[in-house]
Amino acid sequence: MYDYLIVGAGLYGAIFAHEAEKKGKSCLIIEKRNHIGGNIYSALEEGINVHKYGAHIFHTNDRKVWSYISEFAEFNRYTNSPVANYHGEIYNLPFNMNTFSKMWGVKTPEEAKAKIEEQKMTALAELAGVSADDASGKNGPEAYAEAKKKIDAFEPKNLEEQAISLIGTDIYEKLINGYTGKQWGRPCTELPSFIIKRLPVRFIYDNNYFNALFQGIPVGGYTAMVEKIIGDIPVKLGVDYLEEMKKAKADGVEHPETLGLAKKVVYTGPIDAFFDYQLGALQYRSVRFESETLNIDNYQGNAVVNYTDAETPFTRIIEHKHFEFAQRYNEDGTPMDAAADQADPKTIIYREYSAEWKPGDEPYYPVNDDANTALYEKYKDLAAGVPNVIFGGRLGEYKYYDMDAVIAAVLKKAEEELN
């Protein structure tokens, strides 16, 4: 009999198990896939650490989280600075003075702000109940100032309004609208504004995508990091928990959710699947990768290039080696020397396609719109009825968590649970 049965060997499950063992509790981790790590799983291919379920760039402002995770990996100095390709026009991300100067030829923050204000005033006037002439300044500076006050106070109701209010219409049309529509499979008018608030807007020449004090990629890959977190805790791969729970129910096992193996369960799979979708299915976005290995040294000159137009069917291309400054590794993990690298150059790219999740696909992103959020709340009520199961992580809590937020959440939960 274990103290905890941990369902899912991703970051949440691994850290919970680690913390529980530290407190003298026994744990068994079971995992449906044939590897640990969940969606941060990486594998060495052609000497390159490939992020098999999409790019993961660790970043945080939380010193506690940073010092915790640094026990399990050394992080390199990778700084995410993606590039956007809009029909062949190249722009820097996130939205900063490099983007603005390329878009409009402006040189100073003042000029960039004026451009954004002009576009915002025109686009939002009607929504904010302001006349076009007041908003354009035609009716004089006083009317303009009144109009500006109203437009600044206007509460954006969706992602489109939020984006225009932050950054104006040109950037919205070229760098946001198409990309977001592809990623979420919904128009920006039907998406919550918080999604875009993840992205910084800066009036300095700074292409660092994250406002984070700490950032990097674990040297040796994410899988090695999760291995270290799990340590000697037993892991059973290829076990489908939900199937096992059904069997346990059929066999009349008391508390079938524990499979008769443990006192408590930490479940990190989709919360709606746990309850057999009895209230209906939550929506997720899934991602499909088209992988290509090329016999060249450098394909796109950057780890991440976003294709922000609506016509290109994929959302972005990831060139994995650039997460580690093009360093390749030997099978034993030692760095490949330059001569061997150049004698047989390789790079691996992933074209990333976004798709609506359907049963059998991997869920990646919860769709936190009103309908799904309301349905999740109902599942949460059901979860309260099984107090011996802790629901955690991106899927268990139906939350668009970044890795650092997962770590903060599991450490908090572990503290409440284990103290």
**Residues annotated as part of the active site:** 198, 202, 285, 316, 352, 400, 402
Binding mask 93-122 for ligand UDP (x = CB under 6 A): x-----------------------------
Rounded distance, CA 162 to CA 193, Å? 6
Beta partners for residue 389, in sequence order: 265
Contact flag: residue 308 with ligand UDP (CB under 6 A): yes
Q: State the number of CA atoms in the 13 A half-sphere of 330 facing the CB.
A: 8
**Listed ranges 119-127, 175-183, 224-232, 268-276: which one lies at the site for ligand UDP (CB under 6 A):** 175-183
Cβ nearer to ligand UDP, comparing 28 with 304? 304
393, 398, 403, 408: CA torsion to nearest 10: -60
Q: Could you give the CA distance from residue 272 to residue 279 in angstroms, rounded to a whole number?
A: 8
Strands, sheet with 83-86, edge to edge from the N-terminal-most edge strand: 89-92, 83-86, 304-307, 316-319, 347-356, 284-294, 365-366
- Return the number of the residue (308 or 372) whose C-beta is nearest ligand UDP: 308
Q: What is the DSSP string of 63-106?
A: HHHHHHHTTT--B-------EEEETTEEEESSBSHHHHHHHH--
Residue 195, interface with ligand UDP (CB under 6 A)? yes
Specify the residue, 81 or 268, whose C-beta has the smaller distance to ligand UDP: 81
The span from the CA of 111 to the CA of 203, in Å, is 10
Nearer to ligand UDP by C-beta: 150 or 197?
Answer: 197
**Is residue 306 a contact point for ligand UDP (CB under 6 A)?**
yes
Neighbours of 137 (CB within 10 A): 15
Instruction: Kindly tell me which residue out of 5, 196, 248, 375 binds ligand UDP, with binding defined by CB under 6 A.
Output: 196
Q: Is 175 in the site for ligand UDP (CB under 6 A)?
A: yes
Judged by beta carbon, residue 55 or residue 127, the one nearer ligand UDP is: 55
Helix, strand, coil % in the chain, rounded to nearest 5: 40, 20, 40
176 sits near ligand UDP (criterion: CB under 6 A): yes
Q: Residues for the chain: how many in total?
A: 419
Site residues for ligand UDP, 51-70, by CB under 6 A, read: none
Counting contacts by CB under 6 A, is residue 349 touching ligand UDP?
no
How far apart CA 158 and CA 166 sit, in angstroms, is 12
Q: Please, which residue, 265 or 304, has the CB nearer to ligand UDP?
A: 304
Helix count and strand count (H, E) for the chain: 17, 16
Nearer to ligand UDP, 272 or 309 (CB): 309
Which phi and psi (to 5°) does residue 233 adopt?
Answer: -65, 130
By CB under 6 A, how many residues form the interface with ligand UDP? Answer: 13
| 180 scored as a contact of ligand UDP (CB under 6 A) | yes
Regarding 183 and contact with ligand UDP (CB under 6 A), the answer is yes
Helix, coil or strand: residue 419: coil
Residue 95 beta carbon to ligand UDP: minimum distance, rounded to whole angstroms: 9
User: How do beta strands 284-294 and 214-216 pair?
Assistant: unpaired
Decide if residue 84 touches ligand UDP (CB under 6 A). Answer: yes
Q: Does 223 bind ligand UDP (CB under 6 A)?
A: no
- Rounded CA-CA distance 256/245 in Å is 6
H or E stretch at 140 = none
Instruction: By CB under 6 A, tell whether 199 contacts ligand UDP.
Output: yes
Residue 173 is given by DSSP the state I
Q: Which of the stretches 134-142, 196-204, 217-225, 368-376 binds ligand UDP when contact is defined by CB under 6 A?
A: 196-204
Among positions 144, 179, 284, 376, the unique one binding ligand UDP when judged by CB under 6 A:
179
Tokens 């198409």, located at residue: 178
198 binds ligand UDP (CB under 6 A): yes
Quick one: which segment of 63-71, 179-187, 211-219, 338-346 binds ligand UDP (CB under 6 A)? 179-187
Q: Which residues bind ligand UDP (CB under 6 A)?
A: 84, 93, 175-176, 179-180, 183, 195-196, 198-199, 306, 308
